[in-house]
């Protein structure tokens, strides 16, 4: 396959939020469950240390404080998600490439990306993995650094299907959704 597959995308917040939704869905438990898991571990250690020392723990006080700390940790996780979205919005507003068109050319040797005054070519070996979703595809350049490319960026559904075949052959590929 020596043909070129092209895609054109304008960076905007709504498209990027869809990509972040799919990225976060992949690592769902890591994003908001780390806080409650940490609380459970700390309270379990406290409980076992206290009971092994021969002291008694009031079960009602322990349960109420445990529930309060879990609720606070879930609240902190939601605040963390909100702040991540807010950082993304600010980043997109401050970024010079925000709301500009980006052209992609996918070939057998790699992915070429160009915009006003910028050009880069990335070989497929440098892409760590790709994940196709119902709305588009996540291309991971590193473990947590990704680019979201929606289906709408391609001229036709057949171009998107050819691109999926190409990227599945060239990268570690998986599918969600």
Confidence (pLDDT) at 77: 75
- Pair 43, 66: CB distance under 8 Å: yes
Q: 30-39, 76-85, 118-127: lowest mean pLDDT where?
A: 30-39
Give the CATH fold of the 5-25+97-175 domain.
PH-domain like (2.30.29)
The string of DSSP codes covering 61-129 is: HHHHHHHHHHHHHHHHHHHHHHHHHHHHHHHHHH-TTTT-EEEEEE-SSEEEEEETTEEEEEEGGG--E
Biggest CA–CA distance in the chain, Å, is 74
Given strand 5-10, what is the order of strands in its sheet? 5-10, 101-106, 110-115, 118-123
Confidence (pLDDT) at 50: 79
Q: What is the pTM of this model?
A: 0.69
Confidence (pLDDT) at 51: 81
Confidence (pLDDT) at 136: 92
The structure tokens listed for 96 are: 């010079």
Condensed to tens digits (0 to 9), the pLDDT of residues 37-50 reads 777 788 788 878 87
The structure tokens listed for 28 are: 């769902």
The radius of gyration of the chain from alpha carbons, rounded to an integer in Å, stands at 22
Name the residue ranges covered by the structural domains of the chain.
5-25+97-175, 28-94
Confidence (pLDDT) at 115: 84
pLDDT band at 156 (very low <50, low <70, confident <90, very high): very high
Condensed to tens digits (0 to 9), the pLDDT of residues 88-139 reads 788 777 776 667 788 999 999 899 988 887 888 889 988 889 999 999 999 9
């Amino acid at each position: 396959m020596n043909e070129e597959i092209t895609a054109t995308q304008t960076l905007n917040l709504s498209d990027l939020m869809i990509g972040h939704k799919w990225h976060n869905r992949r690592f769902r438990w890591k994003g908001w469950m780390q806080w409650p898991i940490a609380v459970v571990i700390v309270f379990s250690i406290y409980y076992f240390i206290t009971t092994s020392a021969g002291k008694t723990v009031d079960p009602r006080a322990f349960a109420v404080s445990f529930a309060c700390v879990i609720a606070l940790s879930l609240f902190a996780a939601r605040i963390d998600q909100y702040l991540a979205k807010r950082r993304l919005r600010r980043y997109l507003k401050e970024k010079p490439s925000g709301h500009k068109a980006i052209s992609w050319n996918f070939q057998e040797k790699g992915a070429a990306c160009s915009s006003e005054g910028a050009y880069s070519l990335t070989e497929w070996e440098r892409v760590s993995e790709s994940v196709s979703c119902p709305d588009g595809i996540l291309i991971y350049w590193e473990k947590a650094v990704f680019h979201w490319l929606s289906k709408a960026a391609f001229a036709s559904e057949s171009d998107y299907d050819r691109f999926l075949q190409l990227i599945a052959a060239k990268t570690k590929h998986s599918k969600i959704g």
